[in-house]
Amino acid sequence: MDLDLRKVRYFVAVADELHFGRAAERLHIAQPVLSRQIRALEDELGVQLFVRTKRATELTSAGRQLLDDARSLLASADATRRRVAQAARGPKTFTIGFMPGLTVTAAVRAFGAVHPDVGIELIRTTWDDQVDVLHDGRVDVSVVRLPIDQSGLTVRPLFDEPRVAMLPVGHRLAGKPVVDITDLAGEHLLQDPDAVPEWRDIAVELRTRTAQPVPAMRSVEEKLEHVAAGRGVSIVPLSVATFYQRSDVAMVRVESLAPNTVCLAWIAARRSRLLPEFADLAQQVPWTP
């Protein structure tokens, strides 16, 4: 049995909204049509995906499993369409993703000098989507910060750089030339502890199970606003700290922190000759953390 991607898209909309009416409005179709399509999908799969009552719509266990798989399935289908269309047009554009704090100018100039006929586009990424933009086809290559899920990717290292602590300017450790990671044991970390593995061994709030929730943050600027307000500290690569300097946030070097590795990544199955060419050039130009 082949999955109908249109029905899968309808399913994701209902799963996101948990409301057939709102999902129908989002999809610009009539609610009865949407209900019939979901029932047809359930019949094809032989499972119930939603439990509907007068008060709520909820996913079943089968529905939750389908939702886990559906997003990557749809992203892969969209990426395939983009790549096929691009292959038909020829390599007229080349899109590069890059993380905050990184400057790709030298690599872009070197590539442009070799391929003046190829248009170069740039997309700034985040910790959350630096790999997603590769899988969904938004970029051809991405300058990423490890760790990432490297499944299905070709990854080439570019350079390592130190990580530093960002503190409120009035913090007791601000102004010190260097601190140890243990000096920060009592602080609240404004990011996922998995991003700073060294934190798990020393963090007081993790050992005492008093960890405060980490606010949702979509950018470095938002993170630094929370730091400046005294809500916690953040560990970032040196290039990020340097690029986003501000007078109410102090940068302090931290001992016992492993460096951050910056790499170039692209989809391993891609056959474009431009990918290894750009990678070779990127490894030859200077990078300034």
State pLDDT tens for residues 37-48.
999 899 989 999
Question: Which residues of the chain, if any, have pLDDT below 50?
Answer: none
The domain defined by 163-258 carries CATH number 3.40.190.10: yes
Topology (CATH) of 91-159+261-284 = D-Maltodextrin-Binding Protein; domain 2 (3.40.190)
Segments of the chain assigned to CATH 1.10.10.10: 5-77
CA-nearest of 150, 273, 158, 167 to 228 is 167
What pLDDT shows up at residue 207?
67
Q: How far is CA 27 from CA 14, 30, 48, 54, 60, in A?
A: 10, 9, 21, 22, 22
CATH architecture of the domain formed by 5-77: Orthogonal Bundle (1.10)
Can you tell me the distance from the alpha carbon of 147 to that of 157, in angstroms, rounded to the nearest whole number? 12
What pLDDT shows up at residue 235?
93
Residue 182 is encoded by which pair of tokens? 């243990």
What pLDDT shows up at residue 85?
67
What pLDDT shows up at residue 102?
93
What pLDDT shows up at residue 88?
65
Segments of the chain assigned to CATH 3.40.190.10: 91-159+261-284, 163-258
Tell how strand 260-267 and strand 141-145 pair up: antiparallel
pTM as predicted: 0.68
What pLDDT shows up at residue 71?
83
